[in-house]
Amino acid sequence: MQVIPASLASFLVCSTMLLALRPFAEVVGLIDRPGGRKTHHGDVPVVGGIAMFTGLLVAAIGGEDLGRSGLAILVVAAFMVVLGALDDRFNLPPKVRLFAHLSAAVALVYNTGYVIGNLGDLAGFGQISLGLAALPFTVISIVALINAFNMLDGLDGLAGSAGLTAIGGLVIIASLGGASGSVIMAGSMLGSVAAFLMFNLPTHLNRPVRTFMGDAGSTLLGFLLAGLALNLVQPTVMSLKPMIVLWLMPIPIFELFSSTARRIAHGMSPTQADTGHFHHVLINSGLSVRAICALYFVVSVSGSAIAIWAYQLDIPEPVLFAAFCLAFCGWVALIRTARRFVLLLPMWFRRVDSATGH
């Protein structure tokens, strides 16, 4: 099975690049230093995104024919990584980032010809067709997922673990559906993300080589998942239900909706950074970074497991939609009661040292 060699190749390439790029990061200024909203320990290289893309590129090109859509995803992903690296170095204005994300989404849709034609049968009354709104909805969805992963990248291990479980779920579902090109692409990224997490999980063992993915990594994760999902929902590929895609990555979607609503309610721009994300709330409530990472990982694995189970058993979309809405309400409720929730946990879940956020 070619996905295993692809994953191993990307793992080895990404691991090597994460070590090799450390001196380069110091030279070009791709270093994240503590201060302000950044509370991690010491100076940390921000080269995870570049290393992950290198592993993905080497493994994916070495696999079987990726097809037009696969090549389009790789080319536009390269643009996203370059843009993200520039943002990591020079802190680009939000409007510039948004324009670039929109351009990348349009480029992907134009080069693949793929759009989200319908939302599925969410209410039990038949397919909800998007019609003329399909193109703008697809572009907005891609940009939204890119920014969802960017929002999630606030503590060690969060964005990486959410991406790992979502990509792992996609590998399994694409394998079951016979979408070989998507399997190779997702499998290649799986190895890269796994390698990155060895350098990013909140543990003392990796502190000497701690690395951040930066905007280059978070935008790469969001864009790649959006591109792969867009491919799999096409009738000519798999006709994957859009609701299954949402279950593959519940936490980024929850964070996107809750953070956007919160910022608008406070008169802020949806793209303006703040410290109101759930992981920030949990940190301020006294939960340790390791406990937050473990909590997010469990929720992410559960979401991917539900997605795989729903695909195999062909669970009705109204059931999946209702369950997802209930899960989101539970997430919001947990944000509002975070302090009481943390007090119910054993002391070893509490924070006893400074956070490793970024």
Cα angle 66, 71, 76; round to 5? 145
Q: How far apart are CA 285 and CA 145, in angstroms?
A: 27
Predicted local confidence at residue 354, as pLDDT:
43
The DSSP secondary-structure symbol of 208 reads G
Predicted local confidence at residue 358, as pLDDT:
62
Asked whether the beta carbons of 255 and 278 are under 8 A apart, the reply is: yes
Asked whether the beta carbons of 104 and 78 are under 8 A apart, the reply is: no
Predicted local confidence at residue 273, as pLDDT:
75
CA 77 from centroid of its chain's CA atoms: 13
Q: Which two tokens stand for residue 136?
A: 């703008």
pTM exceeds 0.75: yes
Per-residue pLDDT of the chain (358 residues; tens, 9 = 90+): 588 999 999 999 999 999 999 999 999 999 988 644 555 566 899 999 999 999 999 998 876 667 788 899 999 999 999 999 999 999 999 999 999 999 999 999 999 999 999 999 999 889 999 999 999 999 999 999 999 999 999 899 999 999 999 999 999 999 999 998 899 999 999 999 999 999 999 998 998 999 999 999 999 999 999 999 999 999 999 999 999 999 999 999 999 999 888 888 888 877 777 788 889 899 988 899 999 999 999 999 999 999 999 999 999 999 999 999 999 999 999 888 988 888 877 777 777 544 455 6
Predicted local confidence at residue 355, as pLDDT:
45
Listed residue (173, 151, 144, 149) closest to 163, CA to CA: 149
Predicted local confidence at residue 336, as pLDDT:
87
Radius of gyration, CA atoms only, the chain: 19
What are the DSSP calls for 326-349, one per residue? HHHHHHHHHHHTHHHHHHTS-GGG
Q: Which two tokens stand for residue 207?
A: 């502190």
Q: How far apart are CA 40 and CA 341, in angstroms?
A: 25
Backbone φ/ψ region at 154: left (φ over 0), alpha (ψ -120 to 50), beta: alpha
Predicted local confidence at residue 349, as pLDDT:
74
Residue with tokens 């060690």: 156
Q: Which two tokens stand for residue 174?
A: 């694409």
Asked whether the beta carbons of 68 and 202 are under 8 A apart, the reply is: no
Listed residue (58, 63, 55) closest to 4, CA to CA: 63
Q: What is the pLDDT of residues 309-327, one digit of tens each?
A: 999 999 999 999 999 999 9
**346 class by beta-carbon count within 10 Å (0-12 exposed, 13-18 middle, 19+ buried):** exposed
Asked whether the beta carbons of 335 and 279 are under 8 A apart, the reply is: no
CA 291 from centroid of its chain's CA atoms: 20
Cβ neighbours for 10, distance < 8 A, ≥ 6 positions apart? 55, 56, 58, 59, 60, 187, 188, 189, 190, 191, 192, 195
Q: How far apart are CA 307 and CA 329, in angstroms?
A: 19
Q: Residue ranges per domain, the chain? A: 3-349
Predicted local confidence at residue 356, as pLDDT:
52
Q: What is the pLDDT of residues 136-152, one digit of tens each?
A: 999 999 999 999 999 99
Predicted local confidence at residue 327, as pLDDT:
96
Asked whether the beta carbons of 253 and 99 are under 8 A apart, the reply is: no
Asked whether the beta carbons of 159 and 170 are under 8 A apart, the reply is: no
Q: Which two tokens stand for residue 180?
A: 């070989």
